[in-house]
């Protein structure tokens, strides 16, 4: 019985003109960000194939992408005191589409960032080098927000994609730090924060040394 009631309520809700319009606009917005990530994924796939052919080496270890969930979009709009609307998302949020490019070595991170910045159809709207300037907690990564043109039947949209480029070691560190961020125990976490910060320095030294060894191996023949 309860189920039947729920079904009826849902049917009424979905028949409401306003809700249908909002739902439609939301689906269209999602399509836009998904399309932008597909364009970026295609670019990265071509880059990896071509780079391997030209240099016998692929600077990209792996690529991850994600679309921000409606819940997380709503949370961010609320934190920024913005209205819960698609227009507010389009105007203010640059990380609805997010991609992470993981590289083996630090110099690969800069290679990838430079190559992407040279794509004529992409524009840089934000750039943060947290490798040259690590965050206070030790976080390192290269952040780019690029806009990607997406061609629809009746319009061309310019869609932002947030791209984080980092080494395997930086990614390993960031996932552990992210885990700590969601814990509430402040006292214990202070000690863990310090240890994480020290680990970030060790991670950076490891990145440097692995890169140097790799370069030295390349020089052997």
Binding-site ranges for ligand GTP (CB under 6 A): 95, 128, 135, 137, 139, 143, 164, 174, 177-178
**Separation between Cα atoms, residue 97 and residue 68, nearest integer Å:** 6
The CB-of-113 to ligand GTP minimum distance in angstroms stands at: 14
Choose between 58 and 137: whose C-beta lies nearer to ligand GTP.
137
CB of 198 to ligand GTP, least distance (A): 15
For residue 97, give the nearest of 150, 58, 134 by alpha carbon: 150
Strand arrangement, sheet containing 142-151: 60-67, 97-103, 156-167, 142-151, 123-129
**Closest residue to ligand GTP: CB criterion:** 139
Of 68 and 106, nearer to ligand GTP (C-beta) is 68
By C-alpha distance, which of 216, 206, 107, 214 is closest to 166? 107
Shortest reach from residue 48's CB to ligand GTP, in Å: 23
The values of phi and psi at residue 217, to 5°, are -65, -40
Active site residues: 162
Judging by beta carbons within 10 Å of its beta carbon (0-12, 13-18, 19+), is residue 79 exposed, middle or buried? exposed
Question: Which residue, 51 or 116, is less far from ligand GTP as judged by CB?
Answer: 116
């Amino acid at each position: 019985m309860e189920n039947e009631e729920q079904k009826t309520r849902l049917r009424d809700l979905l028949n409401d003109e306003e809700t249908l319009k909002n739902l439609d606009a939301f689906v269209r917005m999602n399509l836009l960000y998904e399309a932008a990530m597909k364009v970026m994924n295609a670019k990265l796939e071509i880059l990896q194939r071509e780079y391997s052919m030209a240099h016998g080496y692929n600077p990209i270890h792996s690529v991850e992408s994600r679309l921000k969930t409606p819940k997380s979009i709503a949370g961010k709009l609320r934190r920024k005191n913005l209205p819960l609307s698609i227009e507010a998302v389009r105007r203010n949020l640059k990380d609805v589409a997010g991609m992470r490019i993981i590289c083996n070595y630090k110099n690969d991170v800069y290679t990838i960032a430079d190559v992407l910045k040279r794509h004529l159809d992409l524009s840089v709207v934000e750039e943060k080098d947290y490798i040259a300037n690590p965050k206070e907690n030790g976080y390192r990564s290269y952040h780019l927000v690029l806009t990607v043109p997406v061609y629809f039947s009746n319009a061309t949209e310019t869609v932002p994609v947030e791209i984080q480029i980092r080494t395997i070691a930086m990614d390993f560190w960031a996932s552990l730090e992210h885990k700590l961020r969601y814990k509430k125990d402040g006292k214990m976490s202070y000690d863990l924060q310090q240890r994480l910060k020290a680990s970030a320095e060790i991670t950076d030294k490891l990145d440097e040394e692995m890169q140097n060894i790799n370069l030295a191996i390349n020089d052997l023949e």
